[in-house]
Structure 1
């Protein structure tokens, strides 16, 4: 080309073409295009963060400042509902990461199930408010415990459905997850079904006992799962247990 003559400009890529390389998992499936699940996790983290923030807004300060200490003490049902619900939502968040650490790509079915799960989590501040109000008023405790427990039970059901779905479609899972790890994660998710259901049923009979059983679930469920510990060993280059 002669000096001083500019080459004709090439086609300007549109925004979709620029971002296309980032869609590493654009394979088609019966449930739509499979996508990188990182945005699913980010969106889920945001919804869960909003849910736990709303919990504290349900604790109303006493109106009578002249008897402030007594008023603060009488708010114990609100504190109880706040702590139990916050820690249980924290478990949902932690185990959501455990599950999505093993998911390589997400299709429309995964997106739908995760959306329903987030809808359930967003409802939890209301369920916690109903629970604290019922114990504060001394009436309706059975219904309140049932509502609170069933909301968490639905979350457990959705976890199990989602995990069963991705296990039936191995292309969605990371290659580092072995069969034993997949079984261990599924066993932990199934345990939540029985434990929360038992606490909910007991709560219908004896509300305080139901809340205690559900609260007892908190320390156990924070224990690590073999599926995540085995993957951590693989990342460090250490062999797993025999």
Structure 2
């Protein structure tokens, strides 16, 4: 079996994340306005700013998770390369639901459209969980690709995170549809925060250190 180091994959992946996070700003636009009403027009476009910030943080969190993952990978094989492409594929989709969400909240003004936009965003986020579950499952079955000292406990904990995210994102979509779009959006932001705080694992990340400090 032919193996390769991770340097080229990391460089390519970082470039993709950089492009995706830059493309998000294209969804911010100069709002139409009459003379003297620029300030109110800019203020009225606040939903687009919210969608941008949520997605900027989201892509940043994905990159943090990806960076944490590759610090534990020593070698790449064909299977791992394909899974990494699946992770990147899911990341490049983010600007689309971001644009839809920003338009529905800022321009459409229709409650049904806003519900659809929040459900779309939550659905895309849930789908993104699949390759992350796949990568940790694959690494568990191919431990020779890992750096020495990576424990099975870490892989087990990391396999749980995307499954948890999938369930929570689906719940966010349901909340956005049946309760209110704002509820779904706040829920999505909370799940993104969860993934940010556990990017180094449930025990090694900020949440683990926080709970460890509370216990002591």
TM-score category (smaller protein): 0.7 to 0.9
* Local SS of the residue matching 1:66: coil
Distance in 2 separating the partners of 1:57 and 1:103: 34
Q: For residue 5 of structure 2, what is the aligned residue in structure 1?
A: 36
Displacement after TM superposition at 1:132 (Å): 0.7
CA positional deviation for 1:229: 4.0
- Call closer, same or farther: CA 1:48–1:162 in 2, change over 3 Å: same
- 1:195 aligned to 2:168? yes
When residues 81 and 94 of structure 1 are mapped into structure 2, their CA distance, relative to the original with a 3 A threshold, is: same
Which structure is richer in relative contact order (CA contacts within 8 A, separation 6 or more)? 2
The one-character-per-residue Cα deviations of 1:163-220 (angstroms, maximum 9, x if unpaired) are: 1111111111122101222223223333222222211222222321111101112333
Contact (CA 8 Å) 1:167, 1:173: kept in 2 or not? no
Query: Which digits, 9 at most, give the CA deviation of each residue in 1:109-154, with x for residues without a partner?
Result: 1111211221221121121000110112122112211221121212
Instruction: Please identify, of 112-121 and 158-167, the stretch whose mean Cα deviation from structure 2 is larger.
Output: 112-121
Q: 1:90 aligns with which of 60, 82, 86?
A: 60
Query: Of the two, which has the highest radius of gyration?
Result: 1
State whether structure 2 residue 38 is matched by structure 1 residue 68. yes
Q: Segments of 4+ in structure 1 off by > 6 A?
A: none
Q: Give the gaps of 5 or more residues in structure 2.
A: 206-216
- For 2:109, the equivalent position in structure 1 comes to 138
Matched residue, 2:27 = 58
Q: Could you tell which deviates more after superposition, 71-80 or 115-124?
A: 115-124
CA contact (8 A) 1:117 1:155 kept: yes
How many equivalent residue pairs? Answer: 199
CA RMSD of aligned residues (A): 1.9
- Please identify which structure carries the higher helix content: 2
CA distance change for structure 1 residues 131 and 227 in 2, over 3 Å: closer, same or farther? Answer: closer
Q: Superposed, which structure 2 residues align to 1:123-202 within 5 Å?
A: 123-136=93-106, 137-139=108-110, 140-202=113-175
